[in-house]
């Protein structure tokens, strides 16, 4: 079996699955901010999140091993769901703003507030984390308070992002550094759904 025939076979299976999506429109009532996320993902997350109430108040799908704090301070675009991968820690105390189509790998930490170094019971105010459209954040990456990431950026695994990153960038490392310019994103435009 060559690649093209395998790809066609997978596409037929996906089309059959999507045929049944009409029966699961009710999931959108539980995930009002889950725009652009396929129904089978919503169905997978439904029982642990909405029945067992693990991150139950969060209006987008969150994996049962992830933790989302201060979800009301988090604004997300279409096809973005912070915490959808396993073992993520998303803390929105000072705010997080995500654009459309932000993909977040397992174990990622978005930390919008640190403890005050002189009083560990306080969190100093800082500007929110801002992440643009079409961004891919690799596994075990940590993004620190006040960081701004442009559109069309890939951040490599195990990076610690403590400074702003420009648009159209490939960046990685601890501390995270710009490696090279990235070609334009050619995938679906999720801002139009």
Exactly one of 6, 7, 115, 125 is catalytic; name it: 115
Query: Could you read off the pLDDT tens digit of each residue along the chain, which spans 193 residues?
Result: 676 777 788 778 777 777 777 788 888 889 999 998 988 889 899 999 999 999 999 999 999 999 999 999 999 999 999 999 999 999 999 999 999 999 999 999 999 999 999 999 999 999 999 999 999 999 999 999 999 999 999 999 999 999 999 999 999 999 999 999 999 999 999 998 8
Is 63 labeled as catalytic in the residue annotation?
no
Instruction: Convert the chain into a string of H (helix), E (strand) and C (coil).
Output: CCHHHHHHHHHHHHHHHHHHHHHHCCHHHHCCCCCCCCHHHHHHHHHHHHHCCCCCCCCCCCCCCCEEECHHHEECCCCCCCCCCCCCEEECCCCEEECCCEEECCCCEEECCCCECCECCCCCCCCCEEECCCEEECCCCEECCCCEECCCEEECCCCEECCCECCCEEEECCCCEEEEECCCCCCCCHHHC
Domains defined along the chain, listed by start: 3-182 (2.160.10.10)
């Amino acid at each position: 079996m060559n690649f093209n025939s395998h790809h066609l076979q997978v596409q037929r299976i996906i089309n059959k699955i999507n045929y049944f999506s009409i029966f699961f429109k009710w999931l959108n009532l539980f995930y009002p901010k889950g725009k652009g996320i396929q129904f089978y993902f919503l169905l997978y997350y439904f029982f642990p999140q909405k029945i067992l109430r693990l991150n139950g108040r969060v209006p987008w799908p969150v994996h049962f091993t992830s933790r989302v704090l201060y979800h009301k301070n988090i604004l997300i675009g279409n096809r973005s769901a912070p915490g959808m991968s396993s073992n993520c820690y998303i803390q929105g105390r000072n705010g997080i703003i995500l654009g459309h189509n932000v993909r977040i790998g397992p174990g990622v930490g978005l930390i919008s507030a640190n403890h005050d170094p002189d009083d560990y019971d306080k969190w100093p105010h800082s500007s929110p984390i801002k992440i643009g459209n079409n961004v891919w954040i690799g596994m075990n990456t940590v993004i620190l308070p006040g960081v701004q990431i442009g559109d069309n950026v890939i951040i490599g695994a195990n990076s610690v992002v403590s400074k702003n990153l420009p648009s159209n960038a490939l960046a990685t490392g601890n501390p995270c550094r710009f490696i090279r310019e990235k070609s334009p994103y050619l995938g679906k435009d999720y801002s139009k759904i």
